[in-house]
Amino acid sequence: MSTTFQLDTATSRANPTPAPMKRLTVPKIRAHKQDGKVEEPLVMLTAYTARQAQLLDEHCDMLLVGDSLAQVIYGLPSTIPVTLEMMANHAAAVVRGSYHAVVIVDMPFGSYEQSKEQAFESAAYLLKASGAAAVKLEGGEAMAETVAFLNQRGIPVMGHVGLTPQAVNVLGGYGARGRSDAEAKKIVGDAKALDKAGAFAIVIEGVVEPIAIEITENVAVPTIGIGASGRCDGQVLVAEDMLGMFERVPRFVKKYGDIAETISATAAQYASEVRSRAFPGDEQTYQPKK
């Protein structure tokens, strides 16, 4: 029996409650692809808070604590300023709020590129501080040695190729990658290198579709698409994009809701009732006992 946390609305505290389900594991995610095929695509969404994790967990195979929290949570212009401490704190909250999905945490820019040893120190800190099951890092062939180093030392790694947001200053923007033959060949080679190095899954982001299909057909591990192809072995989106929290989203996002409008309308109703003194009423105040 695993444990999740339910928010007690009377106290606003998170209290542990048993959940009759065992958490998925990294080996089970890896084994989802057999002989180059998956029976049912894997589902992954981002999560940054305990409550968000509670709501998403039962529907997902994996929850990604992405460094996209830079823009989504902190209003930063890119993922570059994100720190290890930020990632560890949010990942710990997501672990506390979930009981089913594998929790994966992004390694932020500057925490792993310098050396294999730096990567191990950073990854070990993230897993120990948060309780997450695995880390994700960006980069292909250049990071393959690091991926192997971490994997051999007990740290599962999810790879990430194609559009790599941490390299936005080198790439010059967030446009789709792989439009030239040379770049397409490099992205496919990057994915194969990560597969060989022992990554348990590979995110393919923002590439022209034939590249994603070629990678999916030529690596042994599951591929997770985001702006890639419906033929990937799974899909991931930033939850806030999918839920409709933002007016502008990348073209590969499908909005499944309009949470922003719901929040705005609810806040408007609250403001109106406060200003008219309709709130709080007797039901929301403490009256003397008779």
E-assigned strand segments in 20-149: 33-34, 37-38, 42-46, 62-65, 102-106, 134-136
Residue 285, classified by CB atoms within 10 Å of its CB into exposed (0-12), middle (13-18) or buried (19+), is: exposed
d(CA 68, CA 205): 13
282 is in an annotated binding site: no
At a CB cut-off of 8 Å and minimum separation 6, what does 205 contact? 160, 161, 162, 163, 164, 165, 225, 226, 227, 228
229 is in an annotated binding site: no
d(CA 242, CA 259): 9
Q: Strand 157-162 and strand 33-34: pairing?
A: unpaired
> Which residues are designated catalytic?
205
b (16+ CB within 10 A) / e for 12-47: eebeeeebeeebbebeebbebbeeeeeeebbbbbbb
Contact at 8 Å (CB) between 120 and 114?
no
Which residue is listed with tokens 């339910």? 6
68 is in an annotated binding site: yes
57 is in an annotated binding site: no
Contact at 8 Å (CB) between 221 and 195?
yes
67 is in an annotated binding site: yes
As annotated, the binding site for Mg(2+) includes 67, 106, 138
As annotated, the binding site includes 67-68, 106, 136, 138
As annotated, the binding site for 3-methyl-2-oxobutanoate includes 67-68, 106, 136
